[in-house]
Structure 1
C-alpha cells in the first residue's frame, strides 16, 4: 500500500511536466504594433501587456495567433536572472522572425514583451531558458 501511494504521488508531480515544452526566450521592446496576427488592432492585446511572438517552430503559418502560454524561467547564463517560481501568462500576437531584433537572430522559441519578461527574469539577461505550456 505504501509503495502504491508513493508511486501515485510521484506520478502526480510528473504529469504536469510531461505537457510542458522547453526552449529559450528573449525580450523585445515597443512598438508592438503592427503585428502579423492583428495588424494595427491593439484591442486584441492583453490589458497587462504580456505579449509574445512565436518562434519558427511554434508559429505554424500563423496558427499560433491568439494562443496562450504559461511561461517559467528555468535558467540563464547570467547568474540570478531567473525569478524563482515565477510564471507569466502570455498571448501570441506576432511572429518572432519578423521583429528584426535579437530574438530573431538568436532563434529563440518565444520572444516576450518587456511586460511579460520582467516578472520571470531580469531584463538585463539577453535570453533565458524556459518551460512553457499551452493554457
Structure 2
C-alpha cells in the first residue's frame, strides 16, 4: 500500500469516527415543579415526568420540541457542597424556558432529582442529543 492510499484510508477512518460521535454541550440546569402542563410544544397533552423546557440556547424557535437530551450534573453553581449524583437522565424537550430562565435546560423536578440534590436549585450540566 502506498503512502497516498494510507493517507486516504486514515482520512476516511477519521471522518467515519467523527460522524458517529455526538457533540456534548455545557450549560446549567434548573427545575420546575408539577403540574407540567400546559407546554409550549404539546399544549395540555401529558408528556410524562422526564421532560424539560429549553432556553433560547436550545430552543431554536421551537425546533427543539420533541428532541431527547441526555443530561448529567458536573458540579455546583454556588458554594453548596457537591450536589451531583452519578446518574444520567434522558428528557424530552416539551416546553420553552423564556429569557431570564435560570438554566440552559429547565428540567422537571422529577428529572432534576435523578441527577442532583433539589436543594442545589441550579447546577452545571453537560448534555447531548440522544
- The interval holding the TM-score normalised by the smaller chain is 0.7 to 0.9
Tell me what 1:81 maps to.
Answer: 83
Q: Secondary structure at the match of 1:119?
A: helix
1:132 aligned onto 2:127: yes
Cross-structure match for 1:24: 28
Q: How many residues align?
A: 110
* 1:41 matched to 2:36: no
> In the alignment, what sits opposite 2:64?
64
Q: Distance in 2 between matches of 1:111 and 1:74?
A: 16
In the aligned structure 2, how far is the partner of 1:90 from the partner of 1:41?
16
Shift of 1:79: 0.9
Report the secondary structure of 1:124's partner residue. helix
Q: Structure 2: how far apart are the matches of 1:131 and 1:125?
A: 16
How many Å apart are 1:134 and its aligned residue?
A: 0.1
Spell out structure 1 runs of 4+ moving beyond 2 A. Answer: none
What is the CA distance between 1:91 and its match in structure 2?
Answer: 0.4
Task: Please give the alpha-carbon distance, in whole angstroms, between the structure 2 residues aligned to 1:40 and 1:22.
Answer: 30
Structure 1 residue 90 corresponds to structure 2 residue 91: yes
Counterpart of 2:108 in structure 1 is 113
| Displacement of 1:71 | 0.4
**Structure 2-normalised TM-score?**
0.78
Higher helix share: 1
